[in-house]
Amino acid sequence: MRFNKYIQEIGRSELLYCLGISLYAVITIVRSGIVLPEAVSAVLEPRSSYIYYLAYLLCALGFCTSLFRGIYSRICFLVLLAAGSLLTFYGSGSSQPFYFFFFILCAAPFSGRRILHFSLAVKAVMLVLVVLFSQAGIIDDQMFDIDSRMRHGLGFQYATYGPVLFFFLLLCYIFIRREAMTLLEYVILAAAAFYLYKMTNSRMAFFMSVLVLVFFFLLCRIGKGLHHFLMKFRYLYYLIPLLFAGGSIAASYAYNDTASFWVKLNDLLSGRLQLQQKAIRTYDWTLFGQKIDWVGNVVRLQTGKEYNYVDNSYMHVGLENGLLYLALALLLYVVIMYRAWKADDLYLIWITIFIMTISLTEPRLLELTYNPFPLLAFADLRYLEKHDFALTVLWKADLRAVNRRDY
pLDDT digits (tens, 9 = 90+) for 1-57: 555 555 555 677 788 888 888 888 888 888 888 888 888 888 888 888 888 888 888
3-state secondary structure of 122: helix
In a domain, 251, yes or no: no
Residue 406: is its pLDDT beyond 50?
A: no
Beta-carbon contacts of 177 under 8 Å, excluding residues fewer than 6 positions away, are 185, 391, 392, 395, 397
**Burial grade of 33 (CB within 10 A; 0-12, 13-18, 19 or more):** buried
Predicted confidence band at 169 (pLDDT cuts at 50, 70, 90)? very high
114-158: pLDDT as tens digits: 899 999 999 999 999 999 999 998 888 888 875 567 889 999 988
Domain range for residue 178? 2-245+310-395
Is residue 91 situated within a structural domain? yes
- Position 403 confidence tier, pLDDT thresholds 50, 70, 90: very low
Domain-embedded: residue 60:
yes
| pLDDT value at residue 299 | 56
Say if 342 falls within a structural domain.
Answer: yes
Residue 303 lies in a domain: no
53, 99 contact by CB (below 8 A): no
DSSP assignment of 292-304 equals -----HHHHHHH-
Share of residues in the chain with pLDDT > 90 (%):
39
Distance CA 97, CA 301 (A): 27
77 vs 162, higher pLDDT? 162
282 lies in some domain: no
Angle between helices 48-64 and 12-33 (to 10 degrees): 160
- Structural domain count, the chain: 1
Segment 314-324 mean pLDDT: 92
- The answer to whether residue 287 sits within a structural domain is no
Asked whether residue 254 is assigned to any structural domain, the reply reads no
